Structure 1
Amino acid sequence: MTRDTAINGISAYFDEGRFVDDLRDLVAFETESQDPAQAVELTRYLREAIIPRLESMGFTCTIHPNPATGSGPFLLAERIEDAGRPTILSYGHGDVIRAQTADWREGLHPFRLVEEGDRLYGRGTADNKGQHLINLAALRAVLDARGSLGFNCRIVLETGEETGSPGLAEFFEANRDALAADVLIASDGPRLQPDTPTMFMGARGGISFDLIVDLREGAHHSGNWGGLLADPAMILAQALSTITDARGQIRVPEWRPTSLTDDIRRALSTLPLENDEGPDIDENWGEENLTPAERVFGWNSFTVLAMHSGVPEAPVNAISAHARAACQLRFVVGTDQDDVLPALRRHLDAQGFQSVQIVPHDRGFFDATRLPPDHPWVDFVARVLEEATGRPPHILPNLAGSLPNEVFADILGVPTVWVPHSYRGCSQHAPNEHMLKSVARDALIAMTALFWEIGEAAPAST
């Protein structure tokens, strides 16, 4: 059998409608990890939707409880063919963001797959059920064509990624040997452009926190007390204005990275960011001397996610007692995660804002990771993807968003290569989430070719 046999098999799997049928089954599981009432669905998804598929492919499967109390379980599966062959680790998450059912447009429902033109609508189609289904189907195509994978494979599926992956690091620390591998190859996030494969080798970190000004009990009449009582909203606005300048350039010295090196700049220099999906890029926002690609993939960004003072929906003539802003820093390798909030404290104190409290969110943090763009596994995957699709992939040093890549890179110490199967206009984390059929078919072929070639001539372990 040849690689063409496997690719013909995976093409038929899509063209005959079996991929859509399988995705429909996965979407029907209401695996909202943010809703405690759906906790049973998380285990049911692993037990009923995933384990039978993996066991039919010769994987041994075990469901592990989460060391974080009240959080969803982990599935660990493995197929060991030959101790002398490389071991590939893959990953996915079976949980989805809140359904937001009432906000989907007429004719759509988050847990019913709807096919319209090139779009497959449903919660989890893009994030992440459709993506790990593509990888599992590609493994199946290689098995069917070759009779073996030609490598060892371990798969971990979590059910709490949308709540910050609670317990994942502890699970990895306790199961290092069971998760040992030569490389992580997994899929999450979007392609830069729908018609071209994308690779990224890490992710920006993320820390979210509240800034709070709490001055007194209760609000007070703005006529009787205006000019006598400090306004917490004004204090908070002034404090926020010291964190960046008027175009969003970061002013906290420790938040300005030093890792945008020449090799990273070269890797980013040809990446396209403009497309027909999403808003136009604001050219006059962010670090002035950087390109748009450098700003989003090679630099840190500070965002105010939400603000509140008084009663915005029904204002009254009163000076509020407190104000709050939910904030986030996305940061690249080279930023000390442990010093992000202490550095902000020092900065605010130096600017005279001792009254502004910093309260970290419970699960609002991921560390930053990045694999060198010239790593052998990067070269290998890029070559195979180009051969399979006819287009050189877009190669990102790291994803602009955040995901738990640090458990693979830092705890297991393996190189990490992510090949996403969605696109930036997929509406993940929003109503009307969808996957493009054209991207899914392209990705099925690309991943089948990649897994086939790993079985033929994987890079030497480094």
Structure 2
Amino acid sequence: MHPSPDQKSDLRGREAAIASAMRYIEEGGFKSDLAQLVACRTETSKQGDAVQKLTYLTDLLAPHLARLGFSVQVFDNPDAGSGPLAIYQRIEDTNLPTVLMYGHADVVPGLDGQWDAGRSPWKLEQSDNRLYGRGTADNKGQHWLNIAALREVIAARGHLGFNCKILLETEEESGSPGLELFCETHRNDLAADVLIASDGPRIRTGRPTVALGSRGNFNFDLEIRYRDSGRHSGNWGGSIKDPVIRLAHAIATIADDHGRILIDEWRPEKPSDRIRDLLKDCPILQSNGVSRMDADWGETALAPAERVLAWNNFAVLAIKAGSPERPVNAIAPMAWARCQLRFLAGLDPESILPTLRAHLDANGFEDVALKPARSTWWRGTTTNPDDPWVQQVMCSLEKTEGHTPDLIPCIGGSLPNHAFQGIVGMPAVWIPHSYSDCSQHAPNEHVRIDLCLSAIRVMTGLFWDIGQNGEEGERDAY
């Protein structure tokens, strides 16, 4: 069957929009715009940067989006002391589908002075195929690529063919305090048919990834305190409790010596056949085709990708006792550990500490104190892989790149996806534009230019297809 003249015209329009999007990167437009975003020091941990966060939303993004026909609303965070949020909207026709996009303007600390070759985290610098700077991968570069793709569709078609809302927050790196309450309060303002957003890494660099949610994240502290100061190990050793030994044995009841979770309530159901089928060829944690996973660690009955993307994980992030820098011959007075549970949809984060309390008490560790490490947490989420929006995204990306994207039930990390999927209520599709070796949260954060080219291709094609499909009312045809 040959395409009709109208179909040929639309195909040419799609191809022209994608070609223009690629020139935006190849001719330096993306680099120039991203440099301005990186230069805005929106470090999440510094209250003094509240002005920079507001500047990012109002002075950097708002003018660009206003030129694309978006209205702009900036809001105070309902969590006192946390950074602002903004909603940008372009409503073309209430009968058209509505896409909600999300990104975060805040970045982790720049770690000035620790970058290679004397680079500054706040000055974008290119070296071969890489653009270095804080926020290039997490998350300024990713949400800006999506905005640029919207611009290319509007420029080529004259309109989007769907309604678009964009939510930008400035506290994601601190756990998104206030975001869920904001979404509850502004549920109608954020209402949409689907969330399409970008964060995190692709599974493999040469193929787009479509992620349907994220694992939840709950950080908590374990502490044993027996006395106010240390006691000489020669005079007191063997006669008083050692909190370090006690804490080590307490942790050993949570996970065994191969990292396998021992608390039944923290162990999810085994992956379904549908999920196992999605992940059977997923090359998780590979570099140049070689796995970097430890074969004997974790839930070894599961396939490598299933351990990260279809299971829960307990980790000890830090542990301290005594004076690690200058050990002395004394029994430490206390021991402390910061721990973390990454978990799938289905585990209520409010049950985590009560379950752990009961478990430790049952094993004779009533002396271990528990407390959450922060007041907010992210829930585990996922979207049905057979949802029509998921299928539309998969078909569009395959149409653009010529091969089937990797489809995964969730990313291994955590995102505030519950605010959209659980509170506002919509399927969620995440299309990450980075890769696992991007050095996010570390010195030398960067994006790869070849991945940016692929990202803007697939996003321009996707937004073009959503607009065409929305106007024709044939989304189910995908």
Report the TM-score, using the length of structure 1 for normalisation: 0.98
**Shift in Å at residue 216 of structure 1?**
1.1
The 2-side partners of 1:59 and 1:400 are apart by: 33
Residue 454 of structure 1 corresponds to which residue in structure 2? 466
Residue 423 of structure 1 corresponds to which residue in structure 2? 435
Residue 61 of structure 2 corresponds to which residue in structure 1? 50
* Equivalent AA in structure 2 for residue 439 of structure 1: L
**Shift in Å at residue 47 of structure 1?**
1.1
- Give deviations 1:225-247, integer Å, cap 9, x for gaps: 00111000000000001111111
> Is the 8 Å Cα contact of residues 348 and 379 (structure 2) preserved in structure 1?
no
The 2-side partners of 1:276 and 1:119 are apart by: 17
- Show the 5 A alignment for 1:73-84: 73-84=84-95
The 2-side partners of 1:91 and 1:124 are apart by: 15
Could you say what secondary structure the match of 2:400 adopts? helix
**Shift in Å at residue 279 of structure 1?**
8.2
- Give deviations 1:65-95, integer Å, cap 9, x for gaps: 0010111000101000011100000000000
> Is the 8 Å Cα contact of residues 200 and 395 (structure 1) preserved in structure 2?
yes
- Show the 5 A alignment for 1:66-145: 66-145=77-156
Instruction: Tell me the percent identity.
Output: 48
1:169 aligns with 2:173: no
* Equivalent AA in structure 2 for residue 262 of structure 1: D
Residue 403 of structure 1 corresponds to which residue in structure 2? 415
The 1-side partners of 2:338 and 2:183 are apart by: 30
Residue 6 of structure 2 corresponds to which residue in structure 1? none
Between the two proteins, the alignment pairs up a number of residues equal to: 461
1:438 to 450, 453, 464: 450
1:151 to 154, 158, 162: 162
**Shift in Å at residue 376 of structure 1?**
1.0
1:239 aligns with 2:250: yes
The 2-side partners of 1:135 and 1:336 are apart by: 32
Flag structure 1 segments of 5+ consecutive residues without an equivalent. none
Distance 1:274 1:357, change over 3 A: closer
**Shift in Å at residue 363 of structure 1?**
4.1
The 2-side partners of 1:151 and 1:263 are apart by: 31
The 1-side partners of 2:166 and 2:461 are apart by: 19
The 1-side partners of 2:281 and 2:424 are apart by: 32
* Equivalent AA in structure 2 for residue 181 of structure 1: A
Residue 373 of structure 1 corresponds to which residue in structure 2? 385
Could you say what secondary structure the match of 2:286 adopts? coil
Distance 1:45 1:274, change over 3 A: closer
> Is the 8 Å Cα contact of residues 177 and 376 (structure 2) preserved in structure 1?
no
The 2-side partners of 1:274 and 1:22 are apart by: 31
**Shift in Å at residue 372 of structure 1?**
1.3
> Is the 8 Å Cα contact of residues 233 and 309 (structure 1) preserved in structure 2?
yes
* Equivalent AA in structure 2 for residue 148 of structure 1: H
**Shift in Å at residue 261 of structure 1?**
1.4
* Equivalent AA in structure 2 for residue 132 of structure 1: H
The 2-side partners of 1:262 and 1:340 are apart by: 27
1:272 aligns with 2:272: no
Report the TM-score, using the length of structure 2 for normalisation: 0.95
- Give deviations 1:92-145, integer Å, cap 9, x for gaps: 000001111121112311000010011000000000000011000000000000
* Equivalent AA in structure 2 for residue 261 of structure 1: S
**Shift in Å at residue 274 of structure 1?**
4.4
**Shift in Å at residue 364 of structure 1?**
5.5
Residue 404 of structure 2 corresponds to which residue in structure 1? 392
- Give deviations 1:4-25, integer Å, cap 9, x for gaps: 1211211211111101111111
**Shift in Å at residue 153 of structure 1?**
0.4
1:262 to 255, 266, 273: 273
1:315 aligns with 2:338: no
The 2-side partners of 1:176 and 1:280 are apart by: 42
Residue 229 of structure 1 corresponds to which residue in structure 2? 240
1:330 aligns with 2:330: no
Could you say what secondary structure the match of 2:372 adopts? strand
Residue 203 of structure 1 corresponds to which residue in structure 2? 214
**Shift in Å at residue 212 of structure 1?**
0.3
The 2-side partners of 1:406 and 1:208 are apart by: 17
